[in-house]
Amino acid sequence: METTNNSQEGQMTKEIEHYTSKLPSDAYLGAAIAAMGVSLALKCCGKKHLALFIGQWAAPFLLFGVYNKIVKTQGHDQYDQP
């Protein structure tokens, strides 16, 4: 995936990518499944609003996993000089 602009990533982004790239992608999938399971358990216990709140965490966890996979495969900004 090639970028056409010459913008560089900020130092904070580099630091975040440095740490998140160490996490396995399965961790984000597990977190999403766990959120769905906890949501189901809460729904069965009659805590409807908390179940909906926790259940909405699944999508962001999956998106974090996709971002993590992109960082691992594409690396840092190609225009950034070491």
Q: What is the pLDDT of residue 6?
A: 45
Domain range spanning residue 59?
A: 47-73
Q: Taken in order 81, 2, 7, 11, is the CA torsion positive or negative?
A: negative
pTM above 0.75, yes or no: no
At 51-63, the pLDDT tens digits run 999 999 999 999 9
CA distance 73 to 69: 6
Residue 36 lies in a domain: no
Report how many domains make up the chain: 1
Secondary structure, 3-state, 43-68: HHCCCHHHHHHHHCCHHHHHHHHHHH
Residue 57 lies in a domain: yes
At 6-31, the pLDDT tens digits run 456 678 877 877 777 788 888 999 99
Amino acid of residue 71? V
Surface-to-core class of residue 54, CB atoms within 10 Å of its CB (0-12 exposed, 13-18 middle, 19+ buried): buried
Q: What is the pLDDT of residue 21?
A: 76
Mean pLDDT in residue range 64-79 = 76
Higher pLDDT, 79 or 73: 73
